[in-house]
């Protein structure tokens, strides 16, 4: 798959691109690129934002600026060009990002992530350029870059081979293997730490009992359904 992150701060992604699972994904033929929204702005002096209609504090990222960036990247009209692509605008007010959406995005060929700043995007970006408006949680960040990294991280680690050890991504929190529940607790050495031991079943060597214990803990953590 190919992920393009449209941002006013492409430099933020240099560190991210160096991380192991991201490098693994790229080595497997997947792509991650940070695209500078300012580099294709049709406005003078690199302007990308404007004052809000109706007044109020802050600036709003213009729809024509986002359109120009997508058009330059795709060499196509971005309203029509959305068709085969997932275009995710990051916004605190959007649909909450979860494991199911991460799996959905990981199955796409092309995903574009739009990082807002200031007061966010002109609403017409959400309505006519994006296919999804996504929030990573009920709080407000200074910009969409960290949210985009959260999405990229969760999506890229789902790609076969990205983690280097396949089973880890199969049975973990919220996966179908755990019926969508949070993962069970893990323990490692030392067996005793400050008077706190490890559940005996985990050292029993009885794989069926270990499996049953883990599923039970996982269901417990999910709470009543
Ligand atoms: C300062 S925020 C804008 C906040 C907006 N005025 C509001 O009240 O919802 C600037 C940008 O950060 C990103 N952002 C902030 N919080 C986010 C969240 N919880 N999830 C995803 N993106 C977020 C969005 O891209 C947003 O356009």
Is ligand 1 within 6 A of the CB of residue 149?
no
Are residue 66 and residue 12 in the same domain, yes or no? yes
Are residue 21 and residue 50 in the same domain, yes or no? yes
Is ligand 1 within 6 A of the CB of residue 96?
no
Beta-sheet pairing, 49-50 with 31-36: unpaired
Is ligand 1 within 6 A of the CB of residue 150?
no
pLDDT tens, the chain, 225 aa long:
999 999 999 999 999 999 999 999 999 999 999 999 999 999 999 999 999 999 999 999 999 999 999 999 999 999 987 878 999 999 999 999 999 999 999 999 999 999 999 999 999 999 999 999 999 999 999 999 999 999 999 999 999 988 887 656 778 999 999 999 999 999 999 999 999 999 999 999 999 999 999 999 999 999 987
Can you give the pTM of this predicted structure?
0.96
Is ligand 1 within 6 A of the CB of residue 146?
no
Is ligand 1 within 6 A of the CB of residue 37?
no
Q: From the CB of residue 31, how many other CB atoms can be counted at a distance below 10 Å?
A: 11
What is the distance in A from the centroid of ligand 1 to the CA of 7?
13
Domain containing residue 113: 2-156
221 neighbors 184 (Cβ within 8 angstroms): yes
CA–CA distance, 6 with 148 (Å, rounded to integer): 9
Reference 155, options 121, 110, 205; nearest CA is 110
**Number of structural domains the chain divides into:** 2
Whether 66 maps to a domain, the answer reads yes
What is the distance in A from the centroid of ligand 1 to the CA of 142?
7
């Amino acid at each position: 798959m190919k992920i393009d992150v449209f941002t006013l701060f492409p430099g933020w992604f240099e560190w991210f691109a160096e991380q192991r699972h991201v490098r693994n994904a790229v080595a497997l033929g997947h792509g991650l690129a940070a695209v500078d929204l300012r580099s294709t702005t049709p406005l003078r002096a690199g302007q990308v934002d404007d004052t809000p209609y109706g007044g109020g504090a802050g600036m709003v990222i213009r729809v024509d600026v986002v359109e120009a960036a997508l058009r330059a990247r795709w060499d196509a009209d971005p309203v029509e060009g959305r068709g085969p692509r997932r275009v995710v605008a990051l916004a605190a007010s959007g649909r909450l990002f979860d494991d199911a959406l991460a799996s959905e995005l990981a199955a796409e060929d092309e995903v574009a992530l739009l990082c807002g700043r200031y007061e966010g995007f002109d609403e017409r970006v959400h309505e006519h350029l994006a296919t999804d408006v996504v929030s990573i949680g009920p709080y407000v960040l200074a910009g969409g870059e960290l949210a985009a990294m959260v999405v990229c991280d969760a999506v890229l680690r789902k790609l076969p081979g990205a983690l280097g050890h396949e089973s880890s991504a199969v049975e973990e929190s919220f996966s179908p293997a755990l019926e969508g529940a949070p993962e069970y607790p893990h323990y490692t050495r030392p067996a005793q730490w400050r008077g706190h031991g490890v559940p005996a079943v985990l050292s029993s060597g009885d794989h069926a009992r270990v499996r049953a214990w883990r599923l039970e803990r996982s269901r417990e953590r999910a709470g009543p359904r």
